Amino acid sequence: MHMRIAVAEGDGVGKEVIPPCVEILTLLLNDPEFIHVDIGYAKWAREGTPITDADIDLIAQADCMLLGAVTSVQGSSVLVRLRKTLDLFVNLRPFRSYSLTPYELNLTIIRENLEGLYSGIEELSDDIAVTQRVVTRANVERLASFASTLRNVKTVTIVHKANVLKSDIFFRDVCVRVLQEHDVPYNEMYVDTAAYNLIRHPETFDHILTSNLFGDILSDEAAALIGGLGLCPSANIGPKFAIFEPVHGSAPHIAGRGTANPIGAILSTTMLLEWAGECEKASLVDVSVKQTISKGITTRDLGGTSSTNEVAREIIRNIR
Ligand code: IPM
Ligand code: MN
C-alpha cells in the first residue's frame, strides 16, 4: 500500500528523534510519501499560533501522522487540538520493560483521549474556576469496544474513581457492559489503588482502561517503572486517522546535544506499522530495538554512553 504520512518533527528533541523514524519507514514501506508539516514553538513565535488551520488541513490529507514533540504554550496544547479535530478517541500506550528492570512489566494503557477533564469546558473568574468532567456514552462505548478488539488481552482493568465521581460510575458501567458483551476478562480498581499497586506489583497488570487525566498520570508512572519516558511510544487513534508520537515531550533541557533516546519515537513507528497492517515489519523493528538494548547500546537515560544517532544507526543496521 502506498502510504501518505504527515511528519512533524516539532520542537526540541523531536528534531533529533524523528529523522531516523522517517528512514525506517522509507526502508520498510513501499515508496511512502512524506508530507512535512512545520508546527510548534517557532511557528508560534512567528505567527502567534503553533499550528494553523492550513497545517491541520494538510495533516488531514495524509493517512496518518508521525509527530516528534511540541512545546506547550500554557492553556493551548497543539496535541489536544489535533486529537479533538481529528477525532482520535483512543490513546494507546504500551509499556514493556525490555529486561531493564527486575520485574517484567508488560502493560498497555488504553486512555480516553477527548473528554473527561480535557473537555475544554471551563470557566474562570476572580474567585472560582470550574472545569467540567464530561463523559459521553457513545465515546466510552467506542473506547471499550476498541479495547475489546485488541489482540493478546489477558485482563482489562477498568481504572476509575467511582466511589466519589458520578461521572466515573457512568464510565465504569459503560465499560463493564461493553467488555461483557465481548467476553473480555476484566476487573476494576480505584485510581489511587491502581497508582499504589503499579509500584508495588507492576507485573500484575495487563491492560488498563481509563479516562483521560487518569491515563495521563498513570502513563508517566508506568514510564518511570520501565526505565523512563525515553522508551515509551504512543498512538492516538480515531475512526479514520491516527497520530503516532513518543510519550516524552520536547525536553528543551537536553535538546540539540544528541543525547535524547530515539527509542520512544522508533517504537511509535512500530505502532504506525501495526496500525497500517504491516505486523511483520513492525516486529522487525521491535526485535531490533530489543537487540540494541540488550547489547547495551543505549543513551544516558538508560545508563549507556551512546548518542541518539548511534542508537538509531544500530537499530536501523539490524533491520536491514
Ligand atoms: C501527553 C501529554 C499531553 C497530555 C499534554 C502535552 C497536553 O502530557 O500526551 O501525555 O496531557 O495529554
Ligand atoms: Mn502526559
Domains of the chain: 1-88+231-320 (3.40.718.10), 101-226 (3.40.718.10)
Is residue 290 scored above 90 in pLDDT? yes
197 within ligand 1 shell (Cβ under 6 A): no
Q: Does 79 contact ligand 1 (Cβ within 6 A)? A: yes
Q: How far is the CA of 176 from the centre of ligand 1 (A)?
A: 26
SS3 assignment, position 161: coil
Name the β-bridge partners of 186.
156
State how far the Cα of 243 lies from the Cα of 234, in Å rounded to an integer. 8
Cell of 235: 498512538
Number of H helices, E strands in the chain: 11, 12
* Segment 166-192, tens digit of pLDDT: 999 999 999 999 999 999 999 999 999
Phi, psi dihedrals of residue 273, rounded to the nearest 5° = -60, -40
* Contact present, 219 and 210 (Cβ < 8 Å): no
User: What pLDDT is recorded for position 312?
Assistant: 98
Instruction: State the number of CA atoms in the 13 A half-sphere of 255 facing the CB.
Output: 18
> Is residue 72 very low, low, confident or very high in pLDDT (cuts 50, 70, 90)?
confident
DSSP conformational letter for 256: T
Ligand 1 pocket mutation, candidates 77, 93, 109, criterion most atoms within 8 A of CB: 77
Give the β-pairing of 90-96 and 129-131.
unpaired
| Model confidence band, residue 56 (pLDDT cutoffs 50, 70, 90) | very high
CA–centroid distance, residue 314 to ligand 1 (Å) = 30
Q: Can you give the pLDDT at residue 1?
A: 65
Tell me what the pLDDT averaged over the chain comes to. Answer: 96
Residue 6 Cα to ligand 1 middle (Å): 20
Is the pLDDT score of 74 beyond 90?
no
Cα–Cα distance, 207 to 193 (Å, whole number): 15
What's the pLDDT score for residue 102? Answer: 87
Window from 44-53, 118-127, 190-199 with minimum mean pLDDT = 44-53
pLDDT higher than threshold 70 for residue 201: yes
- The per-residue pLDDT for 42 is 83
